[in-house]
Amino acid sequence: MSEFDTPRKDAPQESKGFNLGSALGVGGPEVPEKIDKAQDFKGTVVRLIKYLKPQFVPLVAMMIIAAIGTWFAIWVPDILKKVTNALTDSLQYFIDIRLPQHSGGEGNGVLYTYIAPILWTCAVLYVLNSLFLLTSGMIAASMSQKVVRRMRSDVKDKLDKVPLSYFDSTPTGDVLSRVTNDIEMVSITLQESINQIISGVMTVIGVFIMMVRIDWLLSIIALISLPLLYFASRLIIKKSQIEFARQQKRIGELNGHIEEMYTGHRIIKLYSHEEESIKDYEKINAELKKATRKSQFYAGIVLPTIKFINNLCYVGICVGGGFRAGQGIITIGDIQALLQYTRQFAQPIENISNIANTIQTAMAAAERVFQIFDLEEMEEESARPRSVAHIEGRVDIEHIAFSYSKTKPLITDLSLNVNAGESIAIVGPTGAGKTTLVNLLMRFYELDKGRILIDGVDMRDYTRNDLRSLYGMVLQDTWLFNGSVADNIAYGKPDATREEIIAAAKKAHAHSFIETMEHGYDTIINEDASNISQGQKQLLTIARAILKDPKIIILDEATSSVDTRTEKYVQSAMLAMMEGKTSFVIAHRLSTIKSAAVILVMNNGDVVEQGNHETLMAKKGFYYELYNSQFAGITDENRYDDTVVAFKQT
């Protein structure tokens, strides 16, 4: 478990009351298999509202426009009741409402002088309602896109600041799910749901006011339906909260599995692991299906339950309205208006309930995004960073200690002095701490204690970007992006001229094979770099490092994945690159071990021996055992795990 898996001291406490979003805080490096605790739904909503602060003006404008548009629709039944009363009177008193006699008709003209203007007014109000709601919807769409764009940018900036240990402990698919699926869910909710919530709240308030104006007793029937709706929704939604949390968790797991299977599809096919991979996929997919089915079932029965309660309210107003009209307290038009208001009163509640699953999922997604914002960041940069303009490349390591886990110390007390321009070979079995030392040199991880000096200055006094600009790396696992050969070589120096790129390629022995490619330096390397060989990839990464012209070179098993013939070109290119540079070399190839000037022997995170080949062999210590196990044919259970590094001094 990483440091990010432990609860923060200021984390929101468990809610003991009704919490619509008890399942909404899923995610993080590890989520318990059984999710039975409510997360902080209210806190997530508050944080989301605060996040909307830069969009305060359009948000308020959208709310006002939506409220006004809703009021137009609320006003209509109160006007239409006059038409109903006029028609009722005409039937009750046998009044002919056609054109009056002075206009060539036989009626009193009520149809044209009274009813028609009312109908036209209602039509105008409905048109205005549609226009205002359309405008508020457009504002919501624009606002949501701006918010989501900023959220993606903020997540990216945050991920740039978190320690590398977060990515080591968190599945790639989970990170991608938060950046893509979760943020997109927030966007959909901001665009579609906020408008419905605003208009729904306005409708409930406005309709209740209009109903009280008509008849306070009948309006109580509608008011009674609210607690019934609340308790029914509470009972059902509490059941769905856990399933919505589990659903978001399973989506993250599924994304991680797919990403892992796709990137490793060659190995899967090599070991005929397709069936096991499919079984794992089907298992996760089945669990996702189960969680989705349950969550959708609970969300699906909310709407029918609300409709049932609203229909009871509708019947109550019909019966009560009949008695009140019979007593002469209200008119037929009032009953008609009350029935319309009953439908309007129920509609927003039905709409909100209908999008309850979307709201819950969106809040779960928002909390997963906010969890990224809450991650601990790397140590702050120095307030007055030192310049790296005249760095020579001297490295001094003073009594450093480091561990990935506090319970398992790796490096306990390591000291080392490397002069500028000196090349150091590092030897040690797997897990000795060789690559960890490289990561500490580049400040991918922070030291537990001790310090590393570059030219006598603590590396923490440099900015991370300036510090890493001093390094050039060539790793066993090459990395090239989808672009031209020239762009890949110039990755560390984007402003390099074509002449500089070609000179670096020649020095790396890559120019000859580049010239044979269809478009030379403009040849596009595809997404997985499958259109060039492994050795060619390695030569391009060496050319990239040469062009950058770093002060310190790090070679981590740079020749272990190429054939013997290509190894000669790679070694020659590395010797050219390392000339005059401070170099740290880690490799499995042992062909030049005897000519290495300085060899560090690491074991269990410490340098246990140091010297050249002859000196170390004469000691007959740990290095002697490593050498004999790999050269003298001594067999033991760890002989294939031992790694030794050697290279010819430049």
Tens digit of pLDDT for each residue in 65-110?
A: 988 888 888 888 888 888 887 777 766 545 666 656 555 555 555 6
Identify whether residues 291 and 186 lie together within a single domain.
Answer: yes
Q: Which of 163-167, 230-234, 498-502 has the highest mean pLDDT?
A: 498-502
Shared domain check, 593 and 458: yes
> Band of the pLDDT at 588, cuts 50, 70, 90?
low
pLDDT at 454: 92
- Domain presence at residue 51: yes
| 30-59: pLDDT as tens digits | 333 333 333 677 788 888 888 888 888 888
Point out the domain boundary residue: 531, 549, 567: 549
Residue 392 falls inside a structural domain: no
From 528, 549, 570, give the residue that closes a domain: 549
Residues 486 and 590 in one domain: no
Do residues 67 and 174 both lie within one domain? yes
pLDDT digits (tens, 9 = 90+) for 508-519: 888 988 998 888
Quick: pLDDT tens for 320-359.
Answer: 888 887 777 888 888 888 888 877 776 776 677 667 667 7
How much of the chain exceeds pLDDT 70, in percent? 81
428-446 average pLDDT score = 81
Does any domain span residue 644?
Answer: yes
Last residue within a domain, chosen from 549, 575, 595? 549
195 with 265, same domain? yes
Confidence at residue 263, expressed as pLDDT on a 0 to 100 scale: 77
Q: Are 80 and 340 in contact (CB under 8 A)?
A: yes
On whether both 101 and 212 belong to a single domain, the answer is: yes
Tell me: do 571 and 445 sit in the same domain: yes
Pairing of the two strands 552-556 and 582-586: parallel
Q: What is the pTM of this model?
A: 0.60
Q: How far apart are the first and last CA of the chain?
A: 43
* 429 in the same domain as 298: no
Q: Is residue 26 part of a domain?
A: no
Say yes or no: 634 and 538 in one domain: no
Q: Is residue 74 part of a domain?
A: yes
- Both 50 and 104 in one domain: the answer is yes
Q: How far is it, in rounded angstroms, from Cα 561 to Cα 477?
A: 8
Calpha distance 30→180 (Å, rounded) = 19
Over residues 365-416, the pLDDT tens digits come to: 888 888 888 888 888 777 788 888 888 889 998 988 888 877 787 888 888 8
Tell me if 8 is assigned to some domain: no
Element (H, E) at 91: helix 56-92
In a shared domain, residues 533 and 569: no
CATH number, position 512? 3.40.50.300
pLDDT at position 486 is: 92
The domain that holds 111 is classified in CATH as 1.20.1560.10
pLDDT, mean over the chain: 77
Residue 336 within a domain: yes
Contact between residue 39 and residue 21 where contact means Cβ atoms under 8 Å apart = yes
> Which residue range forms the structural domain that includes residue 281?
41-373
pLDDT at 645: 37
User: Taking a C-beta distance cutoff of 8 angstroms, is the pair 248, 288 a contact?
Assistant: no
Q: Are 485 and 456 part of one and the same domain? A: no
- 14 within some domain: no
* pLDDT, average across residues 570-585: 79
The dihedral of CA 69, 70, 71, 74: what is its sign? positive
Q: How many domains does one find in the chain?
A: 3
Mean pLDDT for 422-449 is 82
